[in-house]
Amino acid sequence: MFKKGDTIEMEIEEINHNHISVVGDGNVKEGKLYMKEMPKVTVECLIVNEDEDKLVLLTEEINGKDMTVLPGGTANPDESSGQTGCRIIKEYTGYEIDSGDLQLYDFRSNPDRDERQWLISVIYIAKVDKINEPEMWANIDEILQMEDSFGYDHHRIIQNFKYNC
């Protein structure tokens, strides 16, 4: 991963959206390009069961700490936000969903939401009861008690969902 202040004397092999691969000394290094000037579109998914008392969460390393986050990712240049949501759900759960089954829940655009870059985030609700892996499901009431374990503003998103939907 590259960080601010790194000097790179390598050949750029590939740039794909916000991902860069460079080659030098026979080694391939990879990193992400972040720009505050232009927003990136991201999608987060509240994947909930029909009773809306459980949801799917992931663990992501943020600043060297394992944090709890919602499944999400950056929209590819050829995707709508709905297509991105369907891709994310399939990537993280193996479950295929039609974009018409996604419910638009929230939209976040605060330029200071992520210190690395400006993100415009579309947040969808997907009701899915067909995930048969119990370890993927987390009880919403229990996880809301663990605010410090969440990355980004995902605790607030789940809290708003619990008390406003």
Structure-model confidence comparison of residues 88 and 116, the more confident one:
88
Domain boundaries, the chain: 1-33, 40-164
To 10 degrees, the CA torsion angle through 81, 86, 87, 88? 90
pLDDT digits (tens, 9 = 90+) for 98-144: 999 999 999 999 888 777 788 899 999 999 977 778 888 999 999 99
Residue-level pLDDT at 47: 96
Superfamily of domain 40-164: Nucleoside Triphosphate Pyrophosphohydrolase (3.90.79.10)
pLDDT digits (tens, 9 = 90+) for 135-151: 889 999 999 999 999 99
Q: Which residues pair with 85 in a beta bridge?
A: none
Q: What number of H helices and E strands is found in the chain?
A: 3, 11
- Residue 2 confidence (pLDDT) above 60: no
Run of H or E including 108: strand 102-108
